[in-house]
Chain A
Amino acid sequence: MTDGDACVLAHDLTFSYPGGDPVLDLPELSIGTGERVFLYGPSGCGKTTLLSLVAGVLQPPPGTLQVLGHDVGALSSPARDRLRAAHIGYVFQMFNLIPYLDVRDNIALPVRITAARRNRLSGSLHQAVAETAAHLGIEDLLNEKVTRLSVGQQQRVAAARALLGDPELIIADEPTSALDQDRRRGFLELLFQNVQDAGSTLLFVSHDLTLSDLFDRSLSLAELNRAGA
């Protein structure tokens, strides 16, 4: 399984949590570089599990999942952590931020945790944080406590953090579900803009099918996944 153009490539990917039934069984999944993919499916169908595997937090069987040219299942745990730190930005559904750090520190977190992301910044960390924040319209909030932010502002901070250093792959797990209709669209437009500028691939999970028309491609995990269904 080699595909020079694929950012994420799964082939007979199976996964089960320790002591549990199989959660995932994907015969085939391919996401091209620079693609914006919308992934949907009912609750519990394994969306977050798939994202955890792609991000290398969980370990897939060797030879079944390729991310950015790496066989994730064959990498050691630290190597997967490095891959994630350097090349992947991750946005959660909500509560993305460390409550005791301010906005600036939260955005800078991936660079601080590992040196891997550091090398991707063109200028100083301070500058990079300021620029990314400006792109997402939160430059005035940099010195705020994150506990003072609205949910919409929090999600934009989370997006800024994921985008810092322009990683190749942005993964977002229902980042808009806590936002109202208007904010959802606004947030997505900002995200798309930045992803496009950086030339990143976007893997976006949501229940909300009304958003799917904004993406290059929509995938139903329930249809792809042979486990559980």
Chain B
Amino acid sequence: MFLPHLALRSLANRLLTTLLTVLSIALSVGLLVGVENVRTGMRESFSNTVSGTDLIVGSRGGTIQIMLYSVFGMGSPVANISHETWRKYDEHPAVAWTIPYALGDSHRGFRVIGTNGSFYEHYRYRGGQPITLIEGRTAHGVFDLVLGAEVAARLNYELGDRIAVTHGMSAVGFMNHDDMPFEVVGILDRTFTPVDRAIYVTLEGISAIHLGWESGAPPMPGQEVLAEDVLAMDEVPVSQITSFFLGAESRALTLQLQREISTHEEEPLTAVIPGVALSEMWRGIGYAEDGLRVISGFVVLVGILGMLVSIYTSLEARRREMAILRALGAGPKKIVSLLVLEAGLLSSVGALLGVGLVYAGIIGLQPWLEGRFGLLIPIQPPDGVQLAYVGAVVVLGLAAGLVPAAKAYRTALHDGLSLRI
């Protein structure tokens, strides 16, 4: 066919305008597809904040609330779970492992979490990655303390540093447990999850800071429990925790366990399936991304409109060209096809270039994005939604081409062969 050749030569003849038009469409399509990809990456990262855990159990409370305090380190539990209840489920035949969490204390604004060896062994995030130490060892002594990566970086702590833990969450509590000096024994590797922003001690460590505080008020002068008193004890009693993560023996047992835990007689418990809860939460914050989507949709419209304007204004300069084609036997429909074809070429090349740019960008920036923000944008062939976007842009481009084409059609029908300027 000759028309494509003609359309290409005509576009090449207006190279600068053509390039700018293609670029503006490419950038707008790139934005749209890029937003879509980042969105997927964000959702993926978010819903993998914790993985491999079948249930998270807290005392009675909202699903979101339990997720917030146990996974995201936000807010605090209203009630605790007794040590016996936790032990009961830890030893339950359908349960493979549990990770206990005792929350409520902090150090210079970072949460202190009491847990046990299970945490280092079973906690998984983003596609089943385990927790690893870059320095030192896990906490098992009463005053052992392990730092999340960000805590270590921000507070500039090193192995062997001795620190105090604050009762409650305020950054500088007036009731510092100064008398309980913890020692940094390990530092965790970065996970880009809330794990990085917490400090890990043993359950006994948490109990130890609260010895003498049973009434909720500071111990009377002279009755303080000192570090050496704790160290002299055979065993520090642990009476309660706040929540625990649970891995079932098999996935199939999860729902059954959830039901059993929710109907636990001795105390009210809530068992949350983290995957379900996370996607529920994502839906809640997903409005922001809808907004982003709408905006990038408009940017695409602006890009197409720019193309329409550029073709339309070029028509004035191309009246002679149209008259010549007419004189040589081109019918009005051929003139229309030529213009629509040009619009189609501009928009499809623009759309493809846009997608290409996004993928080049993802491939180039993926390691940096993951290292810097923990945002893993998967490299995968464009999905249905993205292909639909590209298709819509091409169709929109063709439709936009009809506007100048309609004008050219009228001119072709009603103007004779007088060449006007």
Residues of A in contact with B (beta carbons under 8 Å apart) = 17-18, 48-49, 51-53, 55, 57-58, 77-78, 81-82, 84-86, 90, 92-101, 109-110, 112-114, 116-117, 161, 173
Contacts and interface: CB of A to CB of B under 8 A. Distances in A.
Contacts of B417: 48, 51-52, 55, 57, 90, 92, 173
A57 B321 contact: no
A154 to B, nearest CB: 12
B162 interface: no
A161 B325 CA distance: 12
Interface string B321-334: 10111111111111
B410 to A, nearest CB: 10
Nearest to A109: B328
A57 B416 contact: yes
A48 B328 contact: no
B172 to A, nearest CB: 75
Contact of B9 (A17, A85, A97, A101): A101
B418 interface: yes
Given A55-B417, A173-B417, A90 B13 contact: no
Interface of B: 2, 5-6, 9-10, 12-13, 320-321, 323-334, 413-414, 416-419
Contacts of A100: 9-10, 12-13
A110 B414 contact: no
A110 B419 contact: no
A113 B416 contact: no
Contacts of B12: 100
26 contacts: A18-B414, A48-B418, A49-B418, A52-B418, A53-B416, A57-B327, A77-B331, A77-B332, A81-B331, A82-B329, A84-B329, A90-B327, A92-B324, A92-B419, A93-B419, A94-B419, A98-B324, A101-B6, A109-B324, A109-B325, A109-B328, A112-B2, A113-B325, A113-B328, A114-B329, A116-B329
A98 B327 CA distance: 12
Nearest to A47: B418
In the A-B complex, the 7 residue pairs with the closest CB atoms? A85-B329, A52-B416, A100-B13, A81-B331, A90-B327, A112-B2, A48-B418
Nearest to B421: A95
Contacts of A52: 416-418
Contacts of A18: 414
Given A57-B417, A100-B10, A101-B9, A110 B320 contact: no
Contact of B328 (A53, A78, A110): A110
B143 to A, nearest CB: 82
A97 to B, nearest CB: 7
Given A18-B414, A100-B12, A113-B2, A95 B329 contact: no
A113 B9 contact: no
Given A92-B324, A100-B10, A101-B9, A117 B329 contact: yes
A52 B413 CA distance: 11
A144 to B, nearest CB: 15
B331 A78 contact: yes
Nearest to B413: A77
Contacts of B321: 98-99
A11 B328 CA distance: 26
Nearest to A23: B416
B402 to A, nearest CB: 19
Contacts of B331: 77-78, 81
A173 B333 CA distance: 25
Given A90-B327, A92-B419, A161-B328, 10 more contacts: A18-B414, A77-B413, A84-B327, A92-B324, A93-B419, A95-B419, A98-B325, A99-B321, A113-B329, A113-B330
A221 to B, nearest CB: 14
Nearest to B334: A113
A97 B5 CA distance: 16
B161 to A, nearest CB: 74
A25 B340 CA distance: 38
Interface centre among A18, A53, A114 (most CB of B within 10 A): A114
Contacts of A94: 419
A194 B360 CA distance: 59
A78 B336 CA distance: 14
Nearest to A110: B328
A81 B329 contact: yes
Given A81-B330, A100-B9, A49 B416 contact: yes
Contacts of B329: 81-82, 84-86, 110, 113-114, 116-117
